Amino acid sequence: MAKAPVTVTVTGAAGQIGYALLFRVASGQMLGPDTPVRLKLLEIPQAVKAAEGTAMELDDCAFPLLDGVDITDDTNRAFDGTSVALLVGARPRAKGMERGDLLEANGGIFGPQGTAINEHAADDVRVLVVGNPANTNALIARSHAPDVPPERFTAMTRLDHNRALSQLAAKAGASVTDIKKLTIWGNHSATQYPDIFHAEIAGKKAADVLGVAPDGSGGAAADDHQWLTEEFIPTVAKRGAAIIEARGASSAASAANAAIDHVHDWVLGTPEGDWTSAGVPSDGSYGVAEGLISSFPVVSRHGRWEIVPGLEINDFSRARIDASVQELIDERETVRSLGLI
């Protein structure tokens, strides 16, 4: 028997990421080749026409799995019956705006969207926040949805994870498929910590392959600790800014790709013997303050993210995880003081 269509809501549908994302969702790359999708596109009134143009192109693809497209500027209607909510639309940082201003502007978007999800979404709703600052926007949305299990609100760090995979593979002369158990910890910001100390390259410990010792004492090659601290970590953490510099616009296709990967793995499971990274509500694991939406090593089993337990954290990693988590604590304090959570 054919499966029932799954309702997927995309906010900011007329934006750059929306344009790169919708066609892949409609083609079945996110939920699998046997799951029809019904799309709901939310935009601000000025961008509804552009979203209609995208919907015309979706029609023109004649995707067999696309069961319908609904375009609206009404938040309640956009989340009616939704099972997958991709919160992409956000207020971009304008010139002269402080981080607090940005958080406040986004509170005006993610608070009402959380409320609408609480009231109108399907019982199995899963939420992925892409719009920046993604972790704290997810926290704001979640705090407005008391009837939705908290673990259904997640923030995207899969793009950072994929960037780290690619950088590590290039350094090791390996394929990305040879690399397992890489982790992004903390915030989707320049403080994030891409951790290679549990990673494996073709079954061997990445730190051994690369001669990187956690205390900087060197290994096979003295330069490799420097590669970790001065190349790998900053390249991954500042990749978004480097793309903006090069392209004149922020990452769009790679961000859409990461959103597809995140939801695909959440719904359909992560492969055995590996894990990925996602911003999920902390249960206090690894000393991360409970309730923060922080990036962790995660697997998905039976449709739920689980934080990978029991990893040993060396002092090098500890300091970097703590710094990124502190930034999340500070953002939480700011939105609390603004009455947004």
Ligand X SMILES: NC(=O)C1=CN([C@@H]2O[C@H](COP(=O)(O)OP(=O)(O)OC[C@H]3O[C@@H](n4cnc5c(N)ncnc54)[C@H](O)[C@@H]3O)[C@@H](O)[C@H]2O)C=CC1
Ligand Y SMILES: O=C([O-])CC(=O)C(=O)O
Catalytic residues: 188
12 contact choice in ligand X, ligand Y, none (CB below 5 to 8 Å, kind-dependent): ligand X
- Please identify, using beta-carbon distances, which residue of 107 and 131 lies nearer to ligand Y: 131
Instruction: Give Cβ neighbours of residue 19 (< 8 Å, ≥ 6 apart).
Output: 54, 252
Q: Which does 324 bind (CB under 5 to 8 A by kind): ligand X, ligand Y, none?
A: none
128 interacts with ligand X by CB under 6 A: no
**236 binding ligand Y? (CB under 6 A):** no
Token pair listed for 127: 């939420």
Partner from ligand X, ligand Y, none binding residue 243, C-beta < 5-8 Å depending on class = ligand Y
Give the range of 124-132, 194-202, 210-218, 304-312 binding ligand X by CB under 6 A.
124-132
Residue 335 contact among ligand X, ligand Y, none, beta carbon within 5 to 8 Å by kind: none
130 binds ligand X (CB under 6 A): yes
Return the bridge partners of 296, or none: 278
The residue from 18, 107, 240, 281 that contacts ligand Y (CB under 6 A) is 240
Q: Which of 3, 4, 32, 44 binds ligand X (CB under 6 A)?
A: 44
Contact 176, 187 (CB under 8 A): no
Rounded Cα gap, residues 150 and 158, in angstroms: 19
Q: Please report whether residue 255 would count as binding ligand X according to CB under 6 A.
A: yes
CB 238 within 8 A of CB 135: no
Provide Rg for the chain, Cα atoms: 20
In whole angstroms, the minimum distance from the beta carbon of 182 to ligand Y comes to 16
Residues that bind ligand Y (rule: CB under 6 A) add up to a total of 6
Segment near ligand Y (CB under 6 A), from 112-120, 205-213, 243-251, 291-299? 243-251
134/207 with CB nearer ligand X: 134
Q: Should residue 111 be labelled a site residue for ligand X when binding is judged by CB under 6 A?
A: no
Give the list of residues 6+ apart from residue 83 with CB closer than 8 angstroms, or none.
6, 7, 8, 121, 122, 124, 125, 126
Q: Helix (H, G, I), strand (E, B), or coil: what is residue 309?
A: coil
Q: Would you say 131 is a known binding-site residue?
A: yes
Q: Which residue's CB is nearer to ligand X, number 134 or number 341? A: 134
111 binds, among ligand X, ligand Y, none (CB under 5 to 8 A by kind): none
- Closest by Cα among 56, 116, 48 to 87: 116
Annotated binding residue 163: yes
CA distances from 23 to 18, 57, 88, 124, 145 (A): 9, 9, 15, 23, 29
Task: Consult the annotation and say whether 211 binds a ligand.
Answer: no
Distance, in Å, from the CA atom of 41 to the CA atom of 75, rounded to the nearest integer, reads 10
Residue 294 tokens, joined: 């922080």
Residue 297 touches which of ligand X, ligand Y, none (CB < 5 to 8 A by kind)?
none
Are 213 and 225 in contact by the 8 Å Cβ rule? The answer is yes
Task: Please tell me the distance from the alpha carbon of residue 281 to that of residue 293, in angstroms, as a whole number.
Answer: 4
Reported as half-sphere exposure (CB side, CA atoms, 13 A), residue 277 has a value of 30
Q: Which is nearer to ligand Y, 36 or 240 (CB)?
A: 240
Residue 10 as a binder of ligand X (CB under 6 A): the answer is: no
In this structure, the strands spanning 204-205 and 37-42 are unpaired
Q: Is the peptide bond before 45 cis (omega within 30 degrees of 0)?
A: no
Provide the total of helices (H) and of strands (E) in the chain, helices listed first.
Answer: 12, 14
Member of 132, 276, 277, 282 binding ligand Y (CB under 6 A) = 132
Interacting positions 206-245 with ligand X (CB under 6 A): none
Positions touching ligand Y (CB under 6 A) are 132, 159, 240, 243, 250-251
Which residue ranges are tagged as binding site for NAD(+)?
12-18, 106, 113, 130-132
Positions touching ligand X (CB under 6 A) are 11-12, 14-18, 42-44, 47, 88-90, 92, 109, 130-132, 134, 156, 159, 188, 250-252, 255
